Amino acid sequence: MDAASDVILKANGHNGQLELTNSALRIKRKGALAFLTQGFKGDKEIPIKQITSIQFKKASIIVNGYIQFTFNGSQEAKGGVLQGASDENTVMFRSGQQKEFNAIRDELQKRMNEQAEPSKPSSSLDDLEKLATLKDKGVITDEEFQLKKKEILGL
């Protein structure tokens, strides 16, 4: 599969580009400003499950906005726009590019929240244990137990 074909959202910024896939965020550096601020750094791919926070500053007519990612093992740049220009985990954008960056931020936060929610353990085993206890105590008959067991197991 072509790496570009798995991209679900893209945003072209002032000093780099973002590509969001189902499982990762790519930070790409193309263009003159990307070279001036990032040098010869290559593309970076961060698995969504490793991203721990997103810092987002809206762009105005005068000041660029930025989106910055923190992930396990990274150092967060705390200097705002000035330090963000040289931070490899930050992409700056102009007000005309804001819409695409909002979309990536929103979708990424949604996916991060989905991964953070603990999955509910299957309660089938718990339900069967409770059902067996009721049968052992004589609260339900063996026939009722068998019917409910089939229902719980989807048989």
Contacts for 70 with CB less than 8 Å, ≥ 6 apart: 51, 52, 53, 54, 55, 76, 89
- What is the three-state SS of 1-52? CCHHHHEEEEEECCCCEEEEECCEEEEECCCHHHHHHHCCCCCEEEEHHHEE
Read off the pLDDT of each residue in 16-25 and give the average, rounded to a whole number: 91
Amino acid in the structure at residue 3: A
CATH class entry, domain 3-116:
mainly beta
- pLDDT for residue 117 is more than 70: no
- Residue 101 contacts residue 11 (beta carbons within 8 Å): yes
pLDDT tens-digit map of 29-64 = 875 444 444 444 568 888 988 998 999 999 999 999
- Count of beta carbons in the 10 Å neighbourhood of residue 11: 21
How high is the mean pLDDT of the chain? 79
- Residue 105 contacts residue 54 (beta carbons within 8 Å): yes
